[in-house]
Structure 1
Amino acid sequence: MESDARRRSPLTLLRRVPFTAALVLALLVIGIATGTLWSPASEKPWYAEFATGLPAFAEGRWWTVFTSPFLLNAPYVFLTIAPLVIGGVGWAEWRFGSLRTIGLFLAGHLVGVLGAAGIVAVVSQTGWHWAERLTTVYDVGPSCGAFTALVFAIATLPSPWRLRARVATVIWIGVSVLYLGQLHDLEHAVALVAAMLASGWLPAFRHRASRPSAREWRLIAFAGLIAIGAVQVLGLVVPYDGPLGSNEPVSSFLDVAIDVVVILLIANGVRRGYRVAWIAAIVLGAFNLLTAALVFAALPLLLDAGAIDSPLDVVGIAVAPTVYWIAQLAFMIIGRGAFRVPLRRSRRRVAAATVTPEETAARIRRFGGGTISWMVTWPENRHIALRGPAEAGVVGYQEHAGVAIMLGDPIVPAGSLGEALAAFERTTQDAGLIPCVFSAGTATATARPEGWRSVIVAEDTIVDLPELQFTGKAWGAVRTAINKAEREGIEFRMVRLADEPWNVLAQVRAISEQWTGDKGLPEMRFTLGTVAEALDPEVRVGIAVDGEGSLHGVTSWLPVYGGDGRVAGWTLDLMRRRDGGFGPVMEFLIASSARHFSGEGYDFVSLSGAPLVRPADAEAGPVDQVLEQIGSLVEPLYGFASLHRFKQKFNPRHESLHLLYRDEGDLPRIGVALTRAYLPDASLRDLVTSAAGTAART
Structure 2
Amino acid sequence: MGVAREPDADGRAPGGTSTDRRQPSWAARVIRRTPLTIGLVLALLVVGASTGSLLAPASRQPWYPEIATGLPALAEGHWWSLFTAIFFLDRPIVYLVLLPLVVGGIGWGEWRFGSLRTAGIFIAGHLVGVLGGAGVLALVSRTGWPWAERLATELDVGPSCGALAVLVFAIATLPAPWRLRARIAVGTWAGVSLLYLGQLHDLEHAISVLVALLASGWLPAFRRPAGRPTQREWRLIGLAGLITVGAVQVFDLIVPFDGPLGSNDPTASLVDVAVDVVVILVIANGIRQGYRLAWLAAILLGAYNLAAAALGFAILPLLVDAGVLSGPGDVLGLLIAPTILWIGMMLLLIFGRGAWRVRLRASRRKLDAQPLTRQELIERLRRHGGDTISWMTSWDANTRIAAAGDGAIAYQAHAGVAIMLGDPIVPDGTRAQALSDFERIAQQAGLIPCVFSASGASAAARPAGWRSVIVAEDTIVDLPGLAFTGKAWGAVRTAMNRAAREGVEFRMVRLAEEPWNVLAQVRAISEQWTGDKGLPEMRFTLGTVEEALDPEVRVGIAVDGEGNLHGVTSWLPVYGPADPETGAAQVAGWTLDLMRRRDGGFGPVMEFLIAASAQHFSEEGYAFVSLSGAPLVRPEQADAGPVDLVLERIGGLIEPLYGFKSLHRFKQKFNPRHESLHLLYRDEGDLPRIGIALTRAYLPDASLRDLVASATAAGKER
Range of TM-score over shorter length:
over 0.9
Aligned twin of 2:546: 532
* Distance across 2 between alignment mates of 1:346 and 1:490: 52
Structure 2 residue aligned with 1:262: 279
Equivalence map 1:295-310=2 (5 Å):
295-310=312-327
Identify which of 246, 261, 264 aligns with 1:229: 246
Aligned to 2:461: 447
Question: Is 1:314 aligned to residue 331 of structure 2?
Answer: yes
Mean Cα deviation higher: 108-117 or 610-619: 610-619
1:56-205 → structure 2 map (5 Å cutoff):
56-205=73-222
Deviation at 1:8, TM superposition (A): 5.8
Shift of 1:213: 0.6
Partner of 1:370: 387
1:595 corresponds to 2:609: no
1:478 aligns with: 492
Could you tell me how far 1:538 is from its partner in structure 2?
A: 0.2
CA displacement at 1:520 relative to structure 2: 2.5
Looking at structure 2, the residues matched to 299 and 221 of structure 1 have their Cα atoms a distance apart, in angstroms, of: 31
**Offset of residue 307 of structure 1:** 2.2
Aligned to 1:568: 588
What is the Cα deviation at residue 311 of structure 1? Answer: 2.0
User: Given the alignment, which residue of 669, 688, 691 partners 1:649?
Assistant: 669
**Partner of 1:38 in structure 2?**
55
2-structure distance, mates of 1:519, 1:169 = 50
Q: Which amino acid aligns with 1:139?
A: D
1:697 Cα offset (Å) = 4.5
Cα distance per residue 1:233-266 (max 9 Å; x no partner): 2222211111111110114766544432222223
Within the alignment, does 1:685 sit opposite 2:685 as a pair? no
| Aligned residue type for 1:588 | F
| Alignment partners' CA distance in 2, 1:316 and 1:221 | 24
Do structure 1's residue 467 and structure 2's residue 478 form an aligned pair? no
Is 1:9 aligned to 2:26, yes or no? yes
Unaligned runs of 5+ residues in structure 1 are none
Could you tell me which residue of structure 1 aligns to residue 368 of structure 2? Answer: 351
Aligned to 1:421: 435
Q: Over residues 530-554 of structure 1, what are the superposed CA-to-partner deviations in whole Å (9 max), with x where a residue is unaligned?
A: 1010000000000011111111110
Q: Is contact 1:19–1:98 with CA below 8 Å preserved after alignment?
A: yes
Aligned equivalent of 2:501, options 461, 464, 487: 487
Matched, 1:24 2:41: yes
Deviates more, 1:532-541 or 1:41-50: 41-50
1:249 aligned residue: 266
Aligned 8 A contact 2:646 2:687 in 1: no
- Rounded to whole Å, the distance in 2 between the matches of 1:258 and 1:29 is 50
Contact 1:6/1:12 (CA < 8 Å) preserved in 2? no
The TM-score with structure 2 as length reference comes to 0.94
Q: Choose from 528, 531, 538 the match for 1:514.
A: 528
1:661-680 to structure 2, matched below 5 A, reads 661-680=681-700
Q: What's the counterpart of residue 659 of structure 2?
A: 639
Shift of residue 429, structure 1, vs aligned partner: 0.8
**Aligned mates of 1:5, 1:344 — CA distance in 2:** 60
Tell me the residue number matched to 1:402: 416
Q: Give 3-state SS (helix, strand or coil) of 1:690's partner.
A: helix
Letter of the 2:528 partner, please give it: Q
Deviation at 1:695, TM superposition (A): 4.0
Tell me the amino acid that sits aligned with residue 692 of structure 1: T
1:697 to 1:92, Cα distance in 2 relative to 1, 3 A? farther
Question: Matched residues in 2 for 1:586 and 1:265: separation?
Answer: 55
TM-score of the superposition, structure 1-length normalised?
0.97
Aligned residue identity for 2:668: Q
Compute the RMSD of aligned alpha carbons. 1.7
Counterpart position of 1:500: 514
Alpha-carbon distance in 2 for matches of 1:578, 1:126: 91
- Paired residues of 1:559 and 1:570 also in contact (CA < 8 A): yes
Look up the match of 1:556. 570
Q: What percentage of residue pairs aligned between the two structures are identical? A: 71
The answer to whether the 8 Å contact 1:633/1:694 transfers is no
Moved more, 337-346 or 434-443: 337-346
Question: How far, CA to CA, are the matches of 1:21 and 1:618 in structure 2?
Answer: 33
For the pair 1:384 / 2:401, whether they are aligned, the reply is yes
Please give the alpha-carbon distance, in whole angstroms, between the structure 2 residues aligned to 1:71 and 1:408. 58
Which range moved further: 147-156 or 479-488? 479-488
Whether the aligned pair in 1 keeps the contact of 2:656 and 2:711 (CA below 8 Å) is: no
Deviation at 1:321, TM superposition (A): 1.2
Please state whether the residue corresponding to 2:125 is helix, strand or coil: helix
Given that 2:650 and 2:691 are in contact with CA atoms closer than 8 Å, whether structure 1 keeps it comes out as: no
Q: Distance in 1 between matches of 2:279 and 2:264?
A: 23
CA distance in structure 2 between the partners assigned to 1:518 and 1:373 by the alignment:
30
> Which residue identity does 1:249 align to in structure 2?
P
Give the superposition deviation at 1:636.
2.5
Gaps of 5+ in 2: 1-19, 579-583
